[in-house]
Amino acid sequence: MRYWVIKGKPSENDFEEMLVPEIQDTWHSGQARKAWARGDRLFFWESSPAKQLVGLGIIEGIRTEKDEVGRSLFDVKYLTSRFDSPLSIEDLRQQFADDLPSFLKRDVAGTVFTLTTEQGEYLFRLVVVSNPKWRSTWPDISFDNTALFPDIDAVLLSGVEGRRVWATHLQRERDPRVIEAKKRQTINETGKLECEVCAFDFEKAYGNIGRSFCETHHIKPLSANVEETETKLEDLAVLCSNCHRMIHRTRPIKSVTEFKEWLRGTKGNSFR
């Protein structure tokens, strides 16, 4: 059994209508994958301009015939409706960090993208964090001691990060539960997700599509830890994408307060 990401253009695929659990459908691809097999697991991706993960399914069968323009055909079964909380390309790139699957890389075209088993299972865990009602879709995927995902607000005060895992190479594992809990804590306390450096608010700038979006910054970089490290919510800062990228370009890496003071100095009176 393998994991795949299937990309579809919103102009050709109405995922709101298409994604109905247990409904079968036929997709096409420019070239059939030799490794395809019935039962392989699928993640459905809504392509540009949305660029987000929206549903789950499985391969039901591979057809021998082609369509009228010579494209390979394969049958799928949808296992979920469209996610209430789709996973954006920005969030996923942040989560996978240095082990980006091919479907998240820039300037890569195509419909079908393969995932390693580790990537597929990790991606499913990320789906469940934001959409816990689909936890039972693939019950064989372990969540270790984190089975109470629906009760994340009640039970999650900290999480273990930095566990060494092998995928295509050695990487640091980011615990998505902690990141989501930090967002929820900030919203509960302040009513918004505002960058702690520049005060940028994605929802204020972009409306509904920016709701609940931000990036989280580890005040102490995970790379500084050799073994597993417990990350508490106070160890994270809420940042916008620009400030997050820029703070990591400082050498040595500045603290959030230092970076804010530095930015104020460069912007002068134009910076709050």
CATH number for position 2 = 3.10.590.10
Does residue 135 share a domain with residue 13? Answer: yes
| Residue pair 229/174 in contact by the 8 Å Cβ criterion | no
- 128 and 108 both lie in a single domain: yes
* Number of structural domains the chain divides into: 2
User: What is the SS3 string spanning the chain?
Assistant: CCEEEEEECCCCCCHHHHCCCCCEEEEEECCCCCCCCCCCEEEEEECCCCCEEEEEEEEEEEEEEECCCCCEEEEEEECCCCCCCCEEHHHHHHHHCCCCCHHHCCCCCCCEEEECHHHHHHHHHHHHHHCHHHHHHCCCCCCCCCCCHHHHHHHCCEEEECCEEECCCEEECCCHHHHHHHHHHHHHHHCCCECCCCCCEHHHHHHHHHCCCCEEEECCCHHHCCCCEEEEHHHEEEECHHHHHHHCCCCCCCCHHHHHHHHHHHHHHHCC
CA atoms within 13 A of residue 138's CA, in its CB half-sphere: 24
Q: What is the pLDDT of residue 209?
A: 83
Domain shared by 2 and 126, yes or no = yes
Taking all residues of the chain, what is their mean pLDDT, rounded to a whole number?
82
Residues 167 and 77 placed together within one structural domain of the fold: no
Residues 198 and 232 grouped into a single domain? yes
Q: What is the structure's pLDDT at 7? A: 94
Q: CA-based angle 35:41:42, to the nearest 5?
A: 100
Q: In sequence order, what are the beta bridge partners of 201?
A: 194
Last residue of a domain, one of 142, 158, 190: 142
pLDDT-above-90 percentage for the chain: 46
What is the domain range of residue 182? Answer: 145-272
* CA-based nearest residue to 20, from 59, 60, 55, 61: 55
pLDDT digits (tens, 9 = 90+) for 45-85: 999 999 999 999 999 998 888 888 888 899 999 999 999 99
Q: In the structure, what pLDDT confidence band is assigned to residue 146 with cuts at 50, 70 and 90?
A: very low
pLDDT tier for residue 41 given thresholds of 50, 70 and 90: very high
258 shares its domain with 186: yes
Task: Identify the band that residue 230 occupies on the pLDDT scale cut at 50, 70 and 90.
Answer: low
- Residue linked to tokens 């091919």: 102
Same domain? For 245 and 271 the reply is yes
Q: What pLDDT is recorded for position 136?
A: 93
184: pLDDT strictly greater than 70:
yes
Contact partners, residue 190, CB within 8 Å, separation at least 6: none
Last residue of a domain, one of 93, 110, 142: 142
Same domain, yes or no, for 137 and 8?
yes
The confidence score (pLDDT) of residue 210 equals 86
Looking at the fold, whether 63 and 20 belong to one and the same domain comes out as: yes
Q: Which of 86, 111, 142 is the last residue of a domain?
A: 142
Residue 233's pLDDT is what? 87
* Average pLDDT score over residue span 4-22: 94
* Half-sphere exposure for 257 (CA within 13 Å, toward CB): 0
Please report the pLDDT score of residue 151 as a whole number: 35
- Is it the case that residue 3 has pLDDT exceeding 90? yes
144 burial type by CB count under 10 A (0-12 exposed, 13-18 middle, 19+ buried):
exposed
Whether 225 has a pLDDT exceeding 80, the answer reads no
Same domain, 75 and 106: yes
Cα separation, 51 vs 66, in Å, equals 28
- Mark whether 67 and 113 lie in a shared domain: yes
- Regarding whether 151 and 138 lie in a shared domain, the answer is no
Tell whether the model's pLDDT for residue 222 goes beyond 80. Answer: no
Residue with tokens 């036929």: 26
What is the pLDDT, as a whole number, of residue 229?
60
